[in-house]
């Protein structure tokens, strides 16, 4: 770790200590506790304000994904909720085979 030049003061944040070698995400979460690792279902919606399809979240169970879809349906602006089973192959989705 480089030392600050003698004419500059060291900047610190009170109460914040990070151990050396600990990998952190941008928002400070641990990498293994963030994101979609191991989640089977991805829930997306269309946001007319941004004209984009966005990911709301991921779920291990279909019931959890259905619960997120109900929340999307209650939102005043979000449209077209969609659940994608990420364990299906892309060709199975296109051909409509289970």
Between 16 and 84, name the one with better pLDDT.
84
Q: Is the pLDDT of residue 81 over 50?
A: yes
Q: How confident is the model at residue 87 (pLDDT cuts 50, 70, 90)?
A: confident
Give the start-to-end residue ranges of the domains of the chain: 39-89
What the block records as the tokens of 58 is 């991921």
**How many Å is the Cα radius of gyration of the chain?**
21
Query: Which residues, other chains included, contact 78 with Cβ-Cβ below 8 Å and sequence gap of 6+?
Result: 45, 46, 47, 72
pLDDT at 96: 59
Phi-psi category of 35—alpha, beta or left, where left has phi over 0 and alpha has psi -120 to 50?
left
Q: How confident is the model at residue 15 (pLDDT cuts 50, 70, 90)?
A: very low
């Amino acid at each position: 770790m480089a030392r600050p030049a003698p004419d500059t003061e060291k900047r610190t944040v009170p109460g914040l200590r990070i151990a050396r070698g600990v990998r952190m995400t941008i928002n400070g979460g641990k990498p293994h506790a963030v994101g979609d690792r191991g989640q089977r279902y991805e829930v997306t919606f269309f946001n007319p304000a941004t004209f984009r399809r966005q990911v709301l979240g991921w779920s291990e169970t279909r019931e959890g994904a259905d619960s997120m879809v109900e929340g999307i349906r209650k939102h005043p602006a979000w449209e077209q909720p969609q659940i994608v089973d990420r364990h299906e192959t892309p060709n199975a989705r296109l051909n409509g085979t289970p």
